[in-house]
């Protein structure tokens, strides 16, 4: 099968590696044929050559592992034993480990959820980060009537704002309309359309949000050197798309914040 492999910080090479052995697939694991993926901010430190402090040098997910680093994927089930994820189903979730830059990838069944075939790429790729957001918000307890703040309205900020409001939180100070605030301004009702998703838990780690003493755990990551910022006022399409073969050209702009860009997508 084909895969992209990091040969150094910020550099990918196209390689051919052995296709996964279907007979060796462990119980509870699912093999996917990758259709598309989205670059997450947590992928970028690895692209720049950094790693999590908790990750040893011989970790199976490290530099020079084919398919690394990409975990937000949509794909077709090729093999697995989960009755809710039959062969041929279109699913979204977490490539486990983070090796979604490949023709095929594996994941635990509980890290995936089926999506309708007619769901657009952008809608399907929203489900995985939305699952992270909902898991974090639920860990904070009942938000009904609580005032919350969402700092920054990127892809995750918009999802946190929408999710918190849906769960009963309110924004702004006393007596004011308020709203989550970011460089793009206040979030208005209907500005961010979200797909309907099955309420099947897709547990994830490494994300955080909080209000007062309500916090979700964070996986420590070495602080990367701040990337150069685009000129003030520069804008980009909300969902720019690149072919998977051009992953390097996708990761490079993803490392530079640009106003108006939410998610960079990779299509096979």
Phi, psi for residue 171 in degrees, rounded to 5: -120, 155
**Mean pLDDT of the 99-117 span:** 94
Q: Would you say the C-alpha torsion 72, 78, 83, 85 has a positive or negative sign?
A: positive
**Mean pLDDT of the 56-66 span:** 64
User: Rounded to whole angstroms, what are the CA distances from 164 to 80, 169, 188?
Assistant: 35, 5, 14
Q: How far apart are alpha carbons 96 and 103 in whole angstroms?
A: 14
- Summarised one tens digit per residue, pLDDT across range 219-260 is 332 222 333 333 333 344 456 899 999 999 999 999 887 877
Q: Which of 61-70, 87-96, 130-139, 181-190 has the highest mean pLDDT?
A: 87-96
49 pLDDT above the threshold of 70 = yes
Q: How far apart are alpha carbons 30 and 87 in whole angstroms?
A: 9
Pairing of strands 29-38, 90-94: unpaired
Q: How far apart are alpha carbons 8 and 229 in whole angstroms?
A: 23
- Give the model's pLDDT for residue 42: 87
| Stretch among 28-42, 94-108, 116-130, 202-216 having the lowest mean pLDDT | 202-216
110 beta partners: none
Confidence grade of residue 56 (pLDDT, cut at 50, 70, 90): low
Domains of the chain: 2-267 (3.90.180.10)
Confidence grade of residue 100 (pLDDT, cut at 50, 70, 90): very high
């Amino acid at each position: 099968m084909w895969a992209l492999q990091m040969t150094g910080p910020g550099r990918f090479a196209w390689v051919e590696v052995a296709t996964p052995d279907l007979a060796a697939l462990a119980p509870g694991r699912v093999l996917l044929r990758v259709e598309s993926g989205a670059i997450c901010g947590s992928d970028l430190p690895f692209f720049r050559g950094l790693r999590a402090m908790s990750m040893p040098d011989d970790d199976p997910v490290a530099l020079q592992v084919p398919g690394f680093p990409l975990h937000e994927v949509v794909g077709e089930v090729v093999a697995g034993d989960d009755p809710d994820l039959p062969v041929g189903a279109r699913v979204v979730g977490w490539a486990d480990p983070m090796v979604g830059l490949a023709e095929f990838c594996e994941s635990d069944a509980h890290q995936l959820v089926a999506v309708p075939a007619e769901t657009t790429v952008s809608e399907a790729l929203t489900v995985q980060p939305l699952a992270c957001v909902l898991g974090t918000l639920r860990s904070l307890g009942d938000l009904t009537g609580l005032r919350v703040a969402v700092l920054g309205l990127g892809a995750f900020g918009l999802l946190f704002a929408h999710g918190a409001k849906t769960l009963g939180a309110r924004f702004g100070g006393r007596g004011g309309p308020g709203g989550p605030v970011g460089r793009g301004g206040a979030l208005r009702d209907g500005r961010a359309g979200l797909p309907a998703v099955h309420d099947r838990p897709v547990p994830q780690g490494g994300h955080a949000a909080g209000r007062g003493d309500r916090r979700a755990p964070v996986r420590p990551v070495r602080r990367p050197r701040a990337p150069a910022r685009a000129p003030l006022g520069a804008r980009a399409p909300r969902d720019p798309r690149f072919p998977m073969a051009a992953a390097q050209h996708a990761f490079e702009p993803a490392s530079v914040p640009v106003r108006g860009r939410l998610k960079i997508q990779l299509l096979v």
